[in-house]
A and B are shown apart, each in its own frame.
Chain A
C-alpha cells in the first residue's frame, strides 16, 4: 500500500522565481492538503483540494496556488518567491472529510524549499 509521495525532496530557488511541488496521495484517498512548516515551528495549513477544487484555504497570499488532477494527485505553486518562503512543504491525504477518525490525514516526507 503506497503512502503519500512528494517530489522533489529538496529544491533551491532564488527570490522572485516560481516553484511547483508535487504530491501523490495514499492509495484510496481523494483529498489533498498542503502545509508549510518553517524551521522550529508546527505546520501551517495552506489549502485543501477535493474533487479538483480548492475546498478550504488558510491565511496565505494568492502567490500560493494549487491544483488537483483527476487521479487525485496535486501540485502546489508558489510565485514570486520570498526568502520567508523557505520551509518544509508537507502534503497530506485523506478521505473526503466526514468527521471522526475516517478523515485522518497521512503525510508525505515533504519537500524542503530553500530560497536564496
Chain B
C-alpha cells in the first residue's frame, strides 16, 4: 500500500484565490511527522510546513496552512491568495517514528498552475 497518496496530478487555480492540495497517508506508528515541499522547475525542494502527529493545532506558515485530520489520515495543504510564483510541483512527505532516523517517504506530487 502507498504510504503517501496525492490524488491530484495537476491543478489550476486563479491568481489571488485559495487552493487545497490533497494528501492522505498510511502508518501504524503513533508518532510521525508530515511535511509539504515545493519544487519549482529549478529542482530544489523548498520546505513549506510541518505537522507533528501529536500537535493539537493545525500548522500555519504565512499563506500556507495544513488541514490535519488525524482520524481520516489526511494532511491537506491550503495555499491562500495564490500568486504566479506558486506555480510548481508540491510534494507531501511523511517521517515515521521518533528518534529512528528521519527517512522521508514522498507522494507522487501535484503540479499546481496559477492562472493570471
Q: Which residues of A approach B to under 8 Å, CB–CB?
A: 31, 33, 35, 41-45, 48, 55-56, 58, 88, 90, 92, 94, 97-101, 103-110, 112
Contact = CB atoms under 8 A, between A and B. Distances in A.
The 9 nearest A-B residue pairs measured at CB? A42-B106, A56-B101, A107-B45, A99-B98, A97-B102, A109-B44, A110-B43, A45-B103, A101-B50
Contacts of A43: 45, 91, 104, 106
Interface residues of B, number: 28
A104 B94 CA distance: 11
A9 to B, nearest CB: 9
A32 to B, nearest CB: 11
A47 to B, nearest CB: 9
Interface string B68-95: 0000000000000000000000010101
B99 A97 contact: yes
A94 B44 contact: no
Given A48-B102, A55-B101, A104-B50, A99 B31 contact: yes
